[in-house]
Amino acid sequence: MTSKLELINVTKSYGKTEVIRDMSLAVETGEFFVVLGPSGTGKSTLLKLIVGIEQPDDGKILIDGKDVTRLPPNKRNMAMVFQNYALYPNLNVYQNIAFPLKMHRRRNIDSSVRSVASKLNIEDILKKKVMQISGGQQQRVALARAMVRSPTLFLMDEPLSNLDARVRYSARSELKKLQEDLNETFLFVTHDQKEAEALGDRVGILHKGRFEQVASYKELYEYPGTPWIGDFVGDFPMNFIGNLGFRPEWTSIGEGVYSVTVDTFETVGDIFFLHGTMEDGTGLILKSIKKYEPGEILKFSVTRSRTFPEL
């Protein structure tokens, strides 16, 4: 089966700085693919290459098996949903959705707008100005404006980052359901691991201009391919004793061959995450159902682990 999006050995440099390094990737039709990584790893450059704003120095970009590497953005039939949604505040919802159709002099504008509004359940706000609707509704309007052109691929550049925490939670739930209902292909860029975990069928971790690992978030967490992935993925970094990697919850406190001195702790609900130091100075984080005070020395064992090549 032909992939919806395929990158083949794509490279991009700015001067002597190589931002994207020999990158290859296949995103399947109907997949919600999340690109996750810290700042400065090439996420924005990757989006620019896919949409056609930038050209790669080497490699190919394919959409539905067609080479679009040298095509301009308006010839790639992709839709972009931006961080701030880029809605026009002087226009109402209907006019925002209709805008790209008018720009391209499309026919049947009214039926197209109302059809996509119906799919996204926003028919009742079509006459409202975008500043009069909620953040979640603004997200749906931005999606509707993208959908109305019947794009082959949706690109999303951290579209939830400007929402407050409570709205962001509901907005990402809505977004995932919409994608599944529409059976469209979404490529979503974020630095937020909660978004990656909640949304992605697969997650690609960008590191130094390449995908360090591509897998489900659960697999990335439980079976990190490299120590860097183990350290990056998760609310707390993976612990390392030599080349043995283990999560805070993969331990048993009370007995064992290891000992750690508690330095401080964090409380998450009724669970304690103990930050401590071993005799050789190695820092660790252990999960505990019991509170321990700074200065206490604890014995513990590792109940599950990943073994990496020598660090």
Spans of all domains in the chain: 5-222, 236-307
Is the separation of the CB atoms in 246 and 235 below 8 Å? no
pLDDT single digits (tens) 190-234: 999 999 999 999 999 999 999 999 999 999 999 999 999 999 999
At residue 98 the predicted structure's pLDDT band, cuts being 50, 70 and 90, is very high
Give, to the nearest 10 degrees, the angle between helix 109-119 and helix 135-147: 130
**Average pLDDT for 172-198:** 89
CATH number of 236-307: 2.40.50.140
Does the CA dihedral 169-170-173-174 come out positive or negative? negative
For residue 293, how far is the Cα from the chain centroid? 37
At residue 88 the predicted structure's pLDDT band, cuts being 50, 70 and 90, is confident
**Average pLDDT for 281-306:** 96
Number of Cβ within 10 Å of residue 265's Cβ equals 17
pLDDT at 162 over 70: no
At residue 252 the predicted structure's pLDDT band, cuts being 50, 70 and 90, is very high
pLDDT at 268 over 80: yes
**Global confidence as pTM:** 0.88
For residue 161, which phi and psi values (nearest 5 degrees)? -70, -25
Q: Which pLDDT value is given to residue 175?
A: 83
**Average pLDDT for 90-107:** 87
* Degrees to nearest 5, angle at CA 138 with 43 and 128: 155
Under DSSP, the state recorded for 281 is: S
pLDDT at 171 over 90: no
pLDDT at 1 over 70: no
Q: List the end-to-end C-alpha distance of the chain, in Å, as a whole number.
A: 39
Q: Which pLDDT value is given to residue 311?
A: 58
Percent of the chain with pLDDT over 70: 98
Q: Which pLDDT value is given to residue 30?
A: 94
Percent of the chain with pLDDT over 90: 67
Spatial separation of the C-alpha atoms in residues 291 and 265, rounded to whole Å: 8
Q: What value does the mean pLDDT of the chain take?
A: 91
Spatial separation of the C-alpha atoms in residues 52 and 164, rounded to whole Å: 31
Is the separation of the CB atoms in 186 and 32 below 8 Å? yes
At residue 136 the predicted structure's pLDDT band, cuts being 50, 70 and 90, is confident
| Three-state secondary-structure class, residue 212 | strand
**Domain 5-222 -> CATH class:** alpha beta
